[in-house]
Amino acid sequence: MKDKRKVLVTGGAGFIGSHLTERLIELGHEVFVIDNLWTGRLSNLEKVQNSGRFHLIVDTILNESVMNELIFKVDHIYHLAAAVGVKNIMDHPVETLDINVKGTETVLRLANRFKKKVLIASTSEIYGKHVEHTLSEDDNRVMGTVKKRRWAYACSKTLDEFLALAYYDEKKLPVVIARLFNTVGPRQTGQYGMVLPNFVQSALLEKPITVYGDGTQTRSFTHVKDVVWALTNLMEEPRAEGDVFNVGNDHEITINDLAEKVKEMTGSESPIEHIPYEKAYGPGFEDMERRCPNIEKIRNLIGFNPTYDIDAIIQSVIDYFKE
């Protein structure tokens, strides 16, 4: 990447955003971060805070005058700001929909005003209740009823994707959509229902490791460094514009096996306890039984191959919490 650019990262004090910000500064770019610190933390940005090429704006992406000024001065926008975490979404449905829908609409409208390239971070949640195969970008979505708040996040991110592609088709705005599958690693907290940090923290503290449901549901986990590599390379690839890419690891593991692995790797005596979803999230909660990406498309375009296997991922999270 020879070109040095001015880059905006929305949600840049968050778990993924802070790792992305570090990488962009390493690559020589000047980075502007906007974050309202709802789920982001200033401590995530310690490594870059003294860099002359780093600028932090503590504000919301819904503040149009601030966003207008930022988007005018940058070349590229990585839009990661969103309400995240199942628990957060169940507890704060209005804020979730507000930030995820209005926030993205603001980013796209202002990016179009100045014709600035945007990468939208989307989510594997938008596939809904698929179980029969690994998930490809063009698969149909299988959603639950609107009466189940669990699907609000998935639907808000679906609308973001529709809007981004509409801007690409109608206004010729250069956009790229990255659908992230369970990104994990250092700095992710378990506070909003994130499974791996919760397991690791419980194991290290010798507290019960809590598995929701029967634990036979599978997930695939991707290390944040692999995800950041994918995002920065997608942004630099002109052929990615106007398209959607799964960003994930195509090796899946049951939540029961994940809990056992965490227990073993931490040398913990913690019991593994199963709790019904209703108890954690209220009556009628639905979960996805399986979520594993097909990553052929991104592999063929930019050579993406996750470098961290599940053991290395778990170890990086253990090391982080031990620090």
Q: Which residues are catalytic?
A: 153
Backbone angles phi, psi at 216, to 5 degrees: -85, -10
CA–CA gap between residue 138 and residue 115 (Å, rounded)? 27
Q: What are phi and psi of 202, to 5 degrees?
A: -60, -45
- How does strand 117-123 pair with strand 6-10? unpaired
Angle at 302 between CA 301 and CA 308, to 5 degrees: 125
Instruction: Give every CB contact of residue 96 below 8 A, 6+ residues apart in sequence.
Output: 83, 88, 89, 152, 153, 156
Cα Rg of the chain, angstroms: 19
Distances (CA, A) of 158 to 8, 51, 102, 123, 255: 23, 36, 13, 9, 26
Yes or no: say if 231 and 178 are a contact pair by the CB < 8 Å rule. yes
SS3 state at 55? strand
Q: Where are the beta strands (DSSP E) in 124-229?
A: 175-180, 183-184, 209-212, 218-219, 222-223
Tokens at residue 83, please?
């309400």
